[in-house]
């Protein structure tokens, strides 16, 4: 009678909400994370993040960065830095020190945010869709002339 359907409508342009990479709880990393897919951080990360997907900062996760840009960000640990995402969630154990720009924002009771929240109707994260490049002519890049037979 009440059956959950597994077919969900596809939202074109939306990033998948799945985690492809995990930075474990015993790991400390400095640098930059970018690309498509999702990442979960349970360790310590210092650097910038630009992901066309989901970023999850686990309860033990500690992130320090100038800017996070992602489709979805869930903060259960601590984040020191600014955050720009279509969807932002701060859980009851989440702590954020920085400004948030988003189209959708939610918190649980006990969540902490020290910064400004800017709600936008639309948001451009600056992700460029990759399209294959087609080459014309021969592989050397020289033009190929064809003779006409009359």
Q: Answer whether residue 12 shows pLDDT above 70.
A: no
Domain membership of residue 11 (yes or no) is: no
Distance CA 120, CA 118 (A): 6
The pTM for the full model equals 0.74
- The pLDDT tens digits of the residues spanning 74-110 come to 999 999 999 999 999 999 999 999 999 999 999 999 9
Domain membership of residue 129 (yes or no) is: no
Query: Domain span at residue 61?
Result: 21-119
Distance CA 76, CA 56 (A): 8
Q: Using alpha carbons, list the distances in angstroms from residue 38 to 8, 19, 41, 56, 115.
A: 19, 4, 10, 8, 25
Domain membership of residue 95 (yes or no) is: yes
- Count of domains forming the chain: 1
Distance CA 82, CA 48 (A): 10
- The pLDDT tens digits of the residues spanning 41-57 come to 999 999 999 999 999 99
């Amino acid at each position: 009678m009440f059956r959950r359907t597994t077919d969900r409508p596809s939202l074109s342009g939306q990033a998948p909400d799945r985690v492809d990479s995990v930075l474990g709880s015993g790991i400390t990393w400095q640098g930059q994370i970018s690309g498509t897919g999702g990442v979960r951080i349970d360790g310590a990360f210092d650097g910038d993040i630009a992901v066309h997907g989901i970023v999850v900062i686990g309860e033990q996760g500690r992130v320090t960065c100038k800017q996070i840009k992602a489709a979805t960000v869930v903060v259960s640990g601590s984040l020191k830095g600014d955050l720009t995402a279509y969807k932002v969630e701060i859980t009851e154990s989440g702590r954020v020190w920085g400004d948030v720009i988003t189209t959708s924002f939610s918190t649980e009771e006990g969540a902490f945010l020290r910064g400004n929240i800017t709600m936008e109707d639309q948001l451009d994260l600056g992700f460029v869709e990759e399209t294959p490049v087609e080459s014309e002519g021969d592989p050397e890049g020289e033009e190929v002339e064809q003779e006409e037979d009359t």
